[in-house]
Structure 1
Amino acid sequence: MSITRSATGRLTDTEIRHLCSKTNNSGGCYKVLKSDPRTANVDARGLAEVSIDLASKRANKIHSLINSLVNATHDSQLKNIYKSCFSNYNDVIRDLKVIKNYIKSGAFKNIHVQVKDAYEEVKQCKKVFGGATSDGAHIEEKSGV
C-alpha cells in the first residue's frame, strides 16, 4: 500500500494504521498518534512533524526524570546507570532536533539515520537498566524505555 493523499491531502485512518504497522509497536503508535488532535487534518509531512513533536516531548520528560534521579540517589551504581541513560537521552533529544530540521527543510532522505540513532540510544538506555540489579525508582516503567 502506498500512501496516497485524499482529495483534501489528509491522511486517512487506514493510512495512519498502515504507517504504524511498520513500527515495533503498531498499536501504541496508532493510539499515540490518534490521541493527538493535530493528526485529524494532516498530510504525511504533518504526521511526521506531529510524531517528532510527540517523541521530543516524551524524550524531554524522560530526560528530566533521569536528571532528578541522578541528583537524588546516593547509590553509586544507580547514579552511574542514571548518568549513562541521561547521556543517551541528551543524544536522543539532539537527534530529534536534527530530524525536525530535516522535515522543515524537506530533506526527508536524511531522516532515517537520525531515527535509527535515536532508537539505538533508547535501546542502549534500556539495556543498561536491564543489567541493573536494583532500580528503586522504577524508571523503566515510568519512562517506557
Structure 2
Amino acid sequence: MASYLSNNVFVSSLMFFVMTGSLNAQVADIKAICGKAKNQSFCTNYMKSNPKTSGADLKTLANITFGSAQTSASGAFKRIQSLVNTTTDPTMKKAYTSCVGHYKSAISNLNDAKQSLASGDGQGLNIKVSAAMEGPTTCKDEMANFKVDPSAMKNSDDFQNICGIVLVISNMM
C-alpha cells in the first residue's frame, strides 16, 4: 500500500511539473509586447523581420531580443572605435573616445544582465538592461553638439529600441 501511495505521489508530481512547464512555454503575445514598447513601430518591424520570433515563447523571445541588444551594442562600439581611429579632429576624437567608454560600460552591464536572463529573473534583467541603456544615452547627449557620423547615432537608436523591447519582456517574466 505504501508503495502504491508513493508511486501515486510521484506520478502526480511528475504530471504537475510537466503541466507547469507546458504552461510556461505558451507563445508570446507579440502584439501585446509591441503595444507596450516605447517605439511600437520599431518593435513590430523588428519582430516581423526576425523569423525566429514567430511562435516563440516569452523566454525564447527574451533571449532573441537580448542577443540582438548585445549585437547592437557591440556593433556600435566597433563603429565608434573606428571613428576614434580615423578622425583627425582632436575635439571629435575626444568625444568619440568618451562614447567608446560609455559603450564599454553598456556591454559590461549587458554581460551582467545575461545571468538574470538565464535564471528567469525579470526584475534583475530589467535593472541591468536599464543600466546598459544609460551609456549610449549619455553618448548621444554628448554628441548632440557635434556634427557626428550619422551611423554612430543610428546604432545608438537601434540599441535603445531593442533594449526597450527587452524591458517590456522582462516585465512580463
The residue identity in structure 1 corresponding to 2:100 is: F
The answer on 1:44 being equivalent to 2:44 is no
The answer on 1:129 being equivalent to 2:146 is no
The residue identity in structure 1 corresponding to 2:85 is: N
How many residue pairs align between the two structures?
Answer: 136
- Partners of 1:124 and 1:108 lie apart in 2 by 25
- Partners of 1:100 and 1:57 lie apart in 2 by 13
Contact residue 62 and residue 143 of structure 1 kept, 8 A = yes
Quick check: which has more Rg, 1 or 2? Answer: 2
| Identity %, equivalent residues | 27
| Structure 2 unaligned regions, length at least 5 | 1-21, 158-173
- Partners of 1:98 and 1:7 lie apart in 2 by 24
- Partners of 2:121 and 2:39 lie apart in 1 by 26
Summarize deviations over 1:43-75 as a string: whole Å, max 9, x none. 111111111011111111111000100011111
- Partners of 1:114 and 1:7 lie apart in 2 by 23
The answer on 1:10 being equivalent to 2:27 is yes
**2:9 aligned residue:** none
Contact residue 79 and residue 152 of structure 2 kept, 8 A = no
The structure with higher relative contact order (CA 8 Å, sep 6+) is 2
1:25 CA displacement:
0.6
The answer on 1:20 being equivalent to 2:37 is no
Summarize deviations over 1:67-126 as a string: whole Å, max 9, x none. 100011111110111011111111111122222221112222211211211222221111
Contact residue 52 and residue 99 of structure 1 kept, 8 A = no
Runs of 4+ in 1 over 6 A off after TM superposition: 5-8
Provide the alpha-carbon RMSD of the alignment. 2.1
| Structure 1 unaligned regions, length at least 5 | none
The answer on 1:56 being equivalent to 2:80 is no
**TM-score scaled to structure 1, two decimals?**
0.83
